[in-house]
Structure 1
Amino acid sequence: MSSIGFIGLGIMGGPMAGHLVAAGHEVTGYNRSPGALEKLKAAGGAAAGSVAAAVAGRDIVITMLPQDEQVVEVFSEILEHAKPGALYIDFSTVTPKTSEWTGAEGAKRGLRVLDAPVSGGEPGAINAALSIMVGGSEADFEAAKPVFAAVGKTYELVGPNGSGQVVKAANQLIVGGTYALVAEAIVLMESLGADAAKGLDVLAGGLAGSKILELKRKSMLERDFRPGFRIDLHHKDMGIITQAARDAEVTIPMGALTAQLIAAARAMGHGSLDHSALQLVAEALSGKANS
């Protein structure tokens, strides 16, 4: 088993670090919130008082952070304190350019680097059922498989450094668009007098079926938008998507509309709610607010 320094023990990172402890790894965590460190200690891990203390001498260094700025800041410390040859896995969702940068800078310092953004939200992190999109080398991917197996259900190497972030952008594009369409379908069925609950049950079993319909139809019907993945974070991800499309000179009209709907949810004050709260935007646009 490996010694692991884990930075970022939030909604996603906390359960993931716990699974690594349960798998037999020696996990030392760092987080700005002391409560998260106490949870890791209760699970059998150790707490560090700084990034440097968390990563020094570890075989593997992991980050799970909210945005590019935090990854760049923390990675600069990792470069300074991690031992040569250590494997760095970034589970954060950031821009492809940031992951390309960590890969290039890590190579200069003898670090092996993988970008490995995840999909599955808080339930996937809690249940060790995440889908993981990995960018980097084949050899480093093979070395990281015990980590991926402990926290995820599906993991694939999808290309060189930065490619994991490209596939994650595609994932968030589909997820956001699907939420928007499910929300509109609910408004349509309810407005025309159909039983929306039974209707969604039927839809979930046919060609319109999706993971979102499987997991979220009940909570959306009940207007239960407790956050598993917040609108604020999906808004950030849509910025990554639209910028990546612009850089690649690719037109994504459905993606652009989805980005605007998510921005509208945030502007309406729903940024702290789950991204299924696109339901509230669909209702507001039709004058049928139920919140």
Structure 2
Amino acid sequence: MEKIAFLGLGHMGAPMAARLVGTQHPLTVWNRNAEKAAPLVAAGAALAPTPAEAVRGADVVITMLAGPAALEAVAEAIVPELRPGAHWVEMSTVGPGAVGKLAARLGERVTLVDAPVVGSVDRAAAGRLAIFAGGAADGVAEILARLGTVTRTGASGSGAALKLVLNAAALGGIALVAEALALADALGLDEDTARAALAAGPLGGAVGRAHATDVHFAAALAAKDLALATEGARLPALDAVAEHYRRAAEDPATAHEDIVHTVTRIRRTS
């Protein structure tokens, strides 16, 4: 019975960890705000007061954190406590650079799998996430299958790289929809007519996400993801998109709200 430690119980981490409660794998959880762990503890998970205590004796460690800085802080705390032969499944959106640094830090003692996800809280709760796994994922295949559908992407870091590509495309499309609607506003078009026409075209998926009400992807996290993406290549169009999300992330009214509020902001300020 492999012991699992799950670190990070935010909007995505909490429903993902809930998928592992009640399985044959004893589950220990940790979160910076311990109150968020209460439903998991009530369902049978153990709560650790620190990251180090969470991973002590664990066979599999899963991290779902806000970004590279949070990952670095957790790594500093847990690397000395990791059991030789353990698997670390890093599921945050941190980019291949952060994964590479972590892999170098772990060496051969621990198997690192980068396995970021696509999907929001509804798909996380239902175990229907799309998971992009880089590195040697065979040892955690059964656990990942409880969280969603796994696509093997290749060598270590490739899952993190593909996640940046997908997020950049999605966030760029949503920003383009917002600007197209701003143009429709300026030209005096009826909003429902403009939205319906856009939804019937190649940006249909982005139109739906730009007006979704049952998901959550904070503007601050979107800005972080685009910053990681535009560090990796010269991307003039995405630089402009990133500026939209950066401004939304700097605004207390929208920073921690879903990106649908960023769409409204773009339309208002374009």
Task: Tell me if TM exceeds 0.5.
Answer: yes
SS in 2 for 1:28: strand
CA deviation vs aligned residue, 1:57-79 (integer Å, no higher than 9, x gap): 22201111112122122223332
Equivalent residue in structure 2 for 1:217, among 191, 196, 211? 211
Contact 1:123 1:228 (8 Å CA) reproduced: no
Contact 2:84 2:110 (8 Å CA) reproduced: yes
Give 1:131's aligned residue: 130
SS in 2 for 1:183: helix
| In 2: Cα distance, 1:112 partner to 1:218 partner | 37
Percent sequence identity is 32
Q: Give structure 2 stretches of 5+ with no counterpart.
A: none
CA deviation vs aligned residue, 1:46-105 (integer Å, no higher than 9, x gap): 111222221122220111111212212222333211211111101111132220122222
Q: Note if 1:233 corresponds to 2:227.
A: no
Contact 2:181 2:267 (8 Å CA) reproduced: no
Q: Give the alignment of 1:1-291 within 5 angstroms.
A: 2-108=2-108, 110-137=109-136, 141-152=137-148, 154-197=149-192, 199-201=194-196, 203-210=198-205, 212-217=206-211, 219=213, 228-245=216-233, 251-269=234-252, 270-286=254-270
Give 1:248's aligned residue: none
Q: Give structure 1 stretches of 5+ with no counterpart.
A: 220-225, 246-250, 287-291
Q: CA deviation at 1:201?
A: 4.2
Q: CA deviation at 1:204?
A: 3.2
Q: CA deviation at 1:282?
A: 2.5
CA deviation vs aligned residue, 1:161-214 (integer Å, no higher than 9, x gap): 22222111112211211111121233334454544335434543443321x433
What is the root-mean-square deviation in Å for CA atoms of aligned residues? Answer: 2.3
TM-score by length of 1: 0.83
SS in 1 for 2:211: helix
Contact 2:182 2:268 (8 Å CA) reproduced: no
Contact 1:56 1:82 (8 Å CA) reproduced: yes
Aligned length: 269
SS in 2 for 1:172: helix
1:67/1:218 CA distance change after superposition, 3 Å = closer
SS in 1 for 2:20: helix
Greater Cα offset, 169-178 or 23-32 = 23-32
Contact 1:227 1:272 (8 Å CA) reproduced: no
TM-score by length of 2: 0.89
Letter in 2 for 1:12: M
Contact 1:197 1:218 (8 Å CA) reproduced: no
Q: CA deviation at 1:7?
A: 1.0
Letter in 2 for 1:115: D
| In 1: Cα distance, 2:176 partner to 2:221 partner | 19
SS in 2 for 1:236: helix
1:36/1:268 CA distance change after superposition, 3 Å = closer
| In 2: Cα distance, 1:107 partner to 1:156 partner | 24
Contact 2:4 2:59 (8 Å CA) reproduced: yes
